[in-house]
């Protein structure tokens, strides 16, 4: 039985505690993953913060970021068979649904956002008007809308579409120049860890993509409360979403919530 570690700062980091991952059909333990503490979650925040503040990712051209996302998609596509089996065993959906739907759809989304990275444009508004000394209108300048990355994005995904939802979070965040800390649902973390494995295989820039497993109480709340996390994206039940919004409000971080 494999014991998985957290993927932090481009390397696999051992946790002091583990938790079981159970096959919902057989009810047998199929793997063990890290049950991360607040301290261990903060290590992921440290790595992501350094990658955004000092690393090359937010300073890359959109084309360069798109290239990395396409490489990640290609590597995941090579693993489609294994990913489908793992998704079916861990989540409980049929192999066909995973193989013909969730896995290729998630990979396609990474490619979509790789393309979107190259099409984001700045915008300008019309001239502002002012009055000259004779009381007549004259141009006074214009405004510019410049798109910039937010920073460190924490993402929490649900149990029902583990791989696809992870791709939905990773794609837009990284395409825009952000870095990400991904916390998969406690019951279904295995294909998300495979995304981290694929990122390691292709040499993805360190600290840009981090995966931390564990409970919502320890990992999720630490991410929501941290002042060093600039945005949190959550897909899940409404009550948990409300709680995350409350915690995020303590430091006025941006929130994206999909119930």
> Mean per-residue pLDDT for 142-169?
93
Q: Please give the full DSSP string across 3-26, using - where no structure is assigned.
A: B--EEETTEEE--S-EEEEE-TTT
Query: What integer pLDDT is reported at residue 157 of this predicted model?
Result: 97
The helix/strand/coil state of 94 is coil
The answer, as to whether pTM is greater than 0.75, is yes
Using the predicted structure, report yes or no on whether residue 127 has a pLDDT greater than 90: no
Q: What's the pLDDT tens digit per position in 172-188?
A: 999 999 999 999 999 99
Is residue 80 a contact partner of residue 99, using CB atoms and an 8 Å limit?
yes
120 band by pLDDT with thresholds 50, 70 and 90 = confident
Q: Residue 124 has what pLDDT?
A: 65
What is the average pLDDT across 29-50?
98
Instruction: Give the residue with greater pLDDT, 254 vs 128.
Output: 254
Could you tell me what percent of the chain has a pLDDT over 70?
A: 95
pLDDT greater than 80 at residue 38: yes
Q: pLDDT tens-digit profile of 199-240?
A: 999 999 999 999 999 999 999 999 999 999 999 999 999 999
pLDDT of residue 128: 66
Which CATH architecture fits 6-120+146-258?
3-Layer(aba) Sandwich (3.40)
Per-residue pLDDT at 136? 75
HSE (side-chain half, CA atoms, 13 Å) at 98: 22
* Per-residue model confidence (pLDDT) at position 135: 75
Q: How confident is the model over 85-97, as a mean pLDDT?
A: 97
Rg (CA), the chain: 20
Q: How confident is the model at residue 145 (pLDDT cuts 50, 70, 90)?
A: confident
pLDDT, residue 1, reads 82
* Burial (CB count within 10 angstroms: exposed 0-12, middle 13-18, buried 19+), residue 223: buried
Per-residue confidence band for 241, with pLDDT thresholds at 50, 70 and 90: very high
Domain borders along the chain are: 6-120+146-258
Confidence of residue 18 (pLDDT cuts 50, 70, 90): very high
- Between CA 34 and CA 189 the distance in angstroms is 10
């Amino acid at each position: 039985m494999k014991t998985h570690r957290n993927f932090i700062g481009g390397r696999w980091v051992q946790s002091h505690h583990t938790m079981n991952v159970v096959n919902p059909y057989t009810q047998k333990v199929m793997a063990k993953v890290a049950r991360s503490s607040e301290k261990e979650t903060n290590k992921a925040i440290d790595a992501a913060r350094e990658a955004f503040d000092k690393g090359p990712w937010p300073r890359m051209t959109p084309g360069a970021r798109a290239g990395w996302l396409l490489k990640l998609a290609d590597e995941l596509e090579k693993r489609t068979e294994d990913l489908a089996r793992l998704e079916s065993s861990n989540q409980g959906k049929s192999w066909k649904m995973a193989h013909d739907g969730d896995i290729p759809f998630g990979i396609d989304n990474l490619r979509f956002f790789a393309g979107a990275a190259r099409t984001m444009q700045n915008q300008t508004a019309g001239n502002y008007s002012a009055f000259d000394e004779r009381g007549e209108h004259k141009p006074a300048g214009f405004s510019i809308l410049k798109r910039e990355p937010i920073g460190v994005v924490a993402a929490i995904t649900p149990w029902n579409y583990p791989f696809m939802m992870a791709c939905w979070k990773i794609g837009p965040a990284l395409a825009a120049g952000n870095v990400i800390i991904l916390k998969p649902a406690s019951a279904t973390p295995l294909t998300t860890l495979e995304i981290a494995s694929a990122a390691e295989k292709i040499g993805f820039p360190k600290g840009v993509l981090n995966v931390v497993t564990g409970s919502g109480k320890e990992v999720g709340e630490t991410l929501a409360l941290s002042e060093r996390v600039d945005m949190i994206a959550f897909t899940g039940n409404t009550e948990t979403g409300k709680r995350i919004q409350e915690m995020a409000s303590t430091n006025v971080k941006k929130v994206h919530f999909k119930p």
